[in-house]
Chain A
Amino acid sequence: MKQYKQTPLLSLCSIAFISIALLVGCQPAQESSESTKKQVTILGVVIGEQQKKLEQALAAFTEETGIEIVYEGTDTFATTLPIRVDSGNPPDLAMFPQPGLMKDFAKEGKLIPLTNFMTPQQLQDAYADSWLELGSVDDTVYGVWYRASVKSLVWYNSKVFKKNGYEIPKTWDEMIALSDRLVAEGKTPWCIGLESGDATGWVATDWVEDIMLRTAGAKTYDRWITHQIPFTDQSVKNALETFGKIVRNKNYVYGGMVGVLSTPFGDSIQGLFGDKPNCYLHRQATFIASFLPEDVNITEDVGIFPLPPINAEQGLPILVAGDVFAMFNDTPEARKLMEYLASKVPHEVAAGLGGYISPRKNISLTLYPDQLMKKQAQILADAEVIRFDASDMMPGAVGTGTFWSGMVDYVGGTDVDTVLQNIENSWPESTQ
């Protein structure tokens, strides 16, 4: 082997380089002036336009207290947050899109109970019991609800309805009768689109959850979410089959099975509009308004009604989703921000910005900028029973796994018992 000639100077240089490299490597992360500045960090799911609205709603807080808010929006929330918490670097506040993950952290003792600094009276003044319950673990409240979305909505084209003399159905039977009438007139009543990348199928789970609430009632629904009844239970089967009567009926849905499975969920509402609508009814949550075609006039063309009751006994339950804030670090600044989030101010500001429904009590309906938002807020306020999206509450393997893919299978023609058995088999043994 050839031996390189080495001079002391070169090795001295080497030593210098190595030591600087080591020094650079060991330097602690920027810790200069930031720790002294008063600020609250938030990790959340809202990005883009919605993030701007959130920032506007929080602006008053910074103005008033001088506490800076550092909001970080991510679309990989469910993987990012656990990693940050596990590595001992949680944000001060996190904005959860589902209460399930929040409850996991609460059970592990990672979250600060709101009752540490807020009175029960304060909380009850702000939220209805059902929302408080949704943000609680073992009767301890952890979550402040910021945004709600109503899922049990049927969208229609009000101009077309008026022109043809169709009436808003008050019961499920009336809705089916309307569908049959449309079929008899040579039209297709429903537009349903399940395609959503690797989340394909969630639209159908929402349908089934809504039907579960309407046929089996909220008590059975709660037992279903916590696996106290198996997925193969008759009530679940019934819900699937009720949905199947619509989605598996070639005359009822635009494009039939292949159309339902290949249409992106955001595109399917567009079938309601245009000179010759493809369909006349579309069941989807609040957020679908942002997928409306641009030339649609929201006040004149678009109408909504709550998905009608099936079993009179169960009344008109409303399926909801929403975003909830919870607190990881107990700092005075974070406490103040949580109190602010539970106060009226941010909810009123956000309501005025549109595309938002507040889950808080006593937010005046007149604040909402258009009749669609008003109507939805009204539906939410009037609801006797509200329940959170079931698939978001179930363990991931089911809620974002086999329940989704199972619904795709069901729409694709797999028989109901096989579908339910597959989902049941995938339920993790140690729940929660």
Chain B
Amino acid sequence: MEVISRILEVILAIAFGCGGVIGLFYLANYGINALPKPWNRHFLPWVYIAPAMIVLSTYLIWPTIQTIYLSFFDGRSQNFVGLKNYIFAFTDQGMLVAFRNNLLWLVLVTGISVSLGLIIAVLVDKVSYEPIAKSLIFLPMAISFVGASVIWKFIYAYKPMGDAQIGLLNAVIVNLGFEPVGWLVERYVNNFALIAIMIWLYTGFCMVILSSAVKGIPENIIEAARIDGANSWQIFWQITIPMIRSTILVVSTTVIILVLKVFDIVFVMTGGNQGTEVIASRMIKEMFNFRNFGRGSAIAVILLLLIIPVMIGNIRRFRSQERLR
């Protein structure tokens, strides 16, 4: 009985919630239309934009301002401490390691997943099994970061020599006669082990977008090049790459932004131990584990500042592209 009344309640809430919103728009529109002629044209757009603006500023702009404000206060947000949280962020040993790791992530993930995606896109272009190959590579995109991390935990799992290896990689290595490797523990390899997961996740994304760009290159240009005697290698470097340069840039910037925000993988796999911390995972730790709101906010602001130039670049490029059309 209780379940039915619950379900009924939910349905009613949805109906009246949505109905209320639709009604609100309807009524506003009615009111605007009733206004004298020159006025209504000016007001009408605002009526439709306003709700989105309000939501955007409450959930995006206001928190951003709040975060910047809090980053100048101490852990409990009570006393003004000036730039102390920022000084911490740029001098603390752990933070420096996080910056170094983020740089490593940026270079390797962006570099490898974009170039791998491009290579695959060009190689599978026009082969008969292209859809299958592409869907296989694209498949990991459907998995969440945490889900992927759990899968890869089984791949990297370590058992001491002599025990049955439950990790895929170590099982292979031990069968080849080597000692098992602590993929997530040994400092010389653990960062690369984590980065490999993100490459696995995002190569498919890069491939799909680059592939559509490759397909967009007019056939006659390539034919003309062939007639002029260019080989595949020359076509790739002289025609394909320049033609899809803007797509490559868009894909790269998207991956850069994703990499700057990466945290789930690190959090699930190593918890940031043994020198694998990244900026975002450190931010979560400061904010929610140590409850130091000042430091957490300062790191968030730094992350924001790092992402803004990439965003601006992206938007500029997008605009100039639109202008060309």
**A interface with B by C-beta (< 8 Å):** 1, 3-4, 6, 10-11, 13-18, 20-22, 24, 79, 197-201, 254-259, 261-262, 278, 395-397, 400-402, 405, 408-409, 412, 422, 425, 428, 430
* Whole-angstrom distance between the Cβ of B69 and the nearest chain A Cβ: 19
Given A262-B182, A401-B285, A412-B187: A200 and B16 within 8 A (CB)? no
Residue B131 interfacial (CB < 8 Å): no
In the bound assembly, the distance between CA atoms of A257 and B94 in angstroms comes to 22
Nearest-CB residue, chain B, relative to A400: B289
Give me 7 other A-B pairs in contact (C-beta within 8 A), A199-B271, A258-B181, A397-B292 excluded.
A3-B33, A6-B33, A198-B267, A257-B182, A261-B185, A262-B182, A405-B272
A18 and B24 within 8 A (CB)? yes
Whether A201 lies near B273 (C-beta < 8 A) is yes
B273 touches A422 (CB 8 A): no
Give CA–CA (A11, B29) in the complex, Å.
Answer: 10
B residues within 8 A CB of A402?
Answer: 94
**Which B242-286 residues have a C-beta within 8 angstroms of A?**
267-268, 270-274, 285-286
- Tell me which of B17, B160, B186, B289 contacts A396 (CB under 8 A): B289
26 intermolecular pairs with C-beta atoms under 8 Å apart: A4-B33, A11-B30, A14-B22, A14-B23, A16-B23, A17-B22, A20-B16, A20-B20, A21-B16, A21-B20, A24-B17, A79-B288, A198-B289, A254-B160, A256-B160, A258-B160, A258-B186, A261-B182, A261-B273, A396-B289, A396-B291, A400-B290, A401-B290, A408-B274, A425-B92, A428-B292
Would you give the shortest CB distance from B287 to chain A, in whole angstroms? 11
Bound-state Cα–Cα, A188 to B220, Å: 72
Chain B nearest CB: distance from A192 CB in Å?
Answer: 12
Main secondary structure of the interface of A (DSSP, over half): helix
Q: Which of B296-317 contact A (CB under 8 A)?
A: none
Determine if A11 and B20 form an interchain contact, defined as CB atoms under 8 angstroms apart. Answer: no
- In the bound assembly, the distance between CA atoms of A423 and B163 in angstroms comes to 35
B side interface size, CB within 8 A? 48
With contact pairs A24-B13, A408-B273, A412-B187 given, residues A18 and B20 touching in the complex (Cβ less than 8 Å): yes
Report B-chain residues with C-beta under 8 Å of the C-beta of A79.
288
User: Residues 32-75 of chain B: 1 if any A CB is under 8 Å from the residue's CB, otherwise 0?
Assistant: 01000000010010000000000000000000000000000011
| A181 CB, nearest partner CB in chain B, Å | 21
- Complex-state Cα separation, A18 to B30, whole angstroms: 14
The contact string, 1 if C-beta is below 8 Å from chain A, for chain B 162-188, is 010000000000000000111011110
The listed residue (B44, B92, B93, B271) touching A1 by CB distance below 8 A is: B44
- Whether B290 contacts A17 by the Cβ 8 Å rule is no
With A21-B19, A396-B291 as known contacts, state yes or no: A258 contacts B182, CB within 8 Å: yes
The residue that B274 contacts in the complex, of A16, A254, A259, A261, with Cβ under 8 A, is A261
- B171 → chain A closest CB, angstroms: 15
**Distance (Å) between the CB of B28 and the closest chain A CB?**
9
B158 contacts A by Cβ under 8 Å: yes
Taking CB atoms, residues of chain B closer than 8 Å to A15 are 23, 27
Closest to A261 in B: B185
The answer to whether A200 touches B271, judged by C-beta atoms less than 8 angstroms apart, is yes
Least Cβ–Cβ distance between B158 and chain A, in angstroms: 4
- Whether the pair B182, A22 counts as a contact (CB closer than 8 A) is no
Q: Kindly state the separation between the CA atoms of A408 and B276 in the bound complex, as whole angstroms.
A: 12
Known contacts: A262-B158, A428-B292. The answer to whether A405 contacts B27 by CB under 8 A is no
B16 adjacent to A24 (CB under 8 Å): yes
Report the minimal beta-carbon distance from B187 to chain A, rounded to whole angstroms: 7
Q: Are the C-beta atoms of B274 and A412 separated by less than 8 Å? A: yes
Chain B residues lying within 8 Å of A200, measured Cβ to Cβ, are: 270-271, 273
**Cα–Cα distance between A425 and B94 once the two chains are bound (Å):** 11
Partner of B185, one of A16, A17, A262, A278: A262
Residues of A within 8 A of B286 (CB): 397
Complex CA–CA separation, A409 to B13 (angstroms): 53
Q: Choose from A10, A201, A428 the contact partner of B26 (Cβ within 8 Å).
A: A10
